[in-house]
Amino acid sequence: MASEKIIIFFPAGGFGSTIEYCIRKFSKEFETIETQVLDDGSMHGFSKEAHLIWHNSFETLKTSTGKIFTPVYPNLNHTTVTDTILQLKLFDDNSKVIFVTLDNQQAVEKNEFFGFYKIPNKIMLQSKIENIRQWNSEYKTVFNMQRWELREYLSLTYEDFIPMMTGAHGLTEPSWLNINPQNLLDNFTETIKKIILYLNLTLDDEQGLQVFSKLWLSKQQYIINKHKIMQNIFEKTLQNENFTWESLDIVSEALLQYKFKQRGIMLQCFALNDFPTSTKSLIQCFDCAAKTIT
């Protein structure tokens, strides 16, 4: 058994549970935890050994005799990513750190989808009640908001959240192993082997890893497709191409509103509880200048 502590430092939705499971399942030094890839694509069927989701819980890195720790950033204290990473560094004691980073906007966008579909009430957990009550003092959670309010609220949070997340990789340490969730989606087997090698562990059952890889990837595909649809809507709308789609989830809607705003195109969102389902109707919801898109 490796004597060093293993820290999987990841954003919620960034496959931290999957990485811990694979370390236990496919290295000789750890006992296997038997669980399933759930229908939603998650690996939440087992209890992570030390899942650190609050700022003060990082203290356990010094006091616990555990082996695998899975802190998340940003955590439920709503501290910034920078503060969360600095907190980890304060309590890190020469551990082996797998740092899962979102290096660009597309990576953050995809991670929003993975978090939304795999983590119940993730939107509620990441929302500050004082911000929600600015819309209506009677609101107690984001679920009290009208659809158009929630879409607008999320799109506004992305203005700070996305740059904050993409900047995290710049705070890494030379001894940490940096990976992107896309590494697992593009080449799951080799990424897990790279992690096991970094941890000075011994790969066990490579054939089983390949079988698991195919199963795991197949369960992620529906979420990958959700992101592709959102991106297609964005691009075809900018190109003024005829395109239709089924009703979208709130993350798709909010990201579209945010991405159009990045291009200087404002959505007339007040009372727009039913989001358009065609490029033609979507363009009609833009301000007057944007309706001349070519």
Domain residues of the chain, as ranges?
A: 6-225
* Chain Cα centroid distance, residue 183: 14
* CA atoms 145, 147, 152, 158: torsion sign: positive
Q: pLDDT (tens digit, 9 = 90+) per residue, 16-39?
A: 999 999 999 999 999 888 889 999
Confidence of residue 187 (pLDDT cuts 50, 70, 90): very high
Can you read off the two tokens belonging to residue 106? 């597309």
pTM, rounded to two decimals: 0.91
Q: pLDDT (tens digit, 9 = 90+) per residue, 124-182?
A: 767 888 888 889 999 988 889 999 999 999 999 999 999 999 999 999 999 999 999 99
Can you read off the two tokens belonging to residue 130? 């004082």
| Contact assessment for residue 269 and residue 214, using Cβ atoms and an 8 Å cutoff | no
Q: What's the fold here for domain 6-225? A: Rossmann fold (3.40.50)
Can you read off the two tokens belonging to residue 250? 């709130």
Percent residues over pLDDT 70 in the chain:
96
pLDDT at 49: 80
Q: pLDDT (tens digit, 9 = 90+) per residue, 207-250?
A: 999 999 999 999 999 999 999 999 999 999 999 999 999 999 99
pLDDT at 291: 53
Closest alpha carbon to 17 in 169, 194, 216: 216
Backbone angles phi, psi at 22, to 5 degrees: -70, -35
pLDDT at 292: 54
List, in sequence order, every residue forming a beta bridge with 98; answer none if it has no partner.
8, 177
Percent residues over pLDDT 90 in the chain:
71
| Contact assessment for residue 237 and residue 292, using Cβ atoms and an 8 Å cutoff | no
pLDDT at 293: 58
Neighbours of 145 (CB within 10 A): 18
Higher-confidence position of 65 and 2: 65
Can you read off the two tokens belonging to residue 268? 């007339």
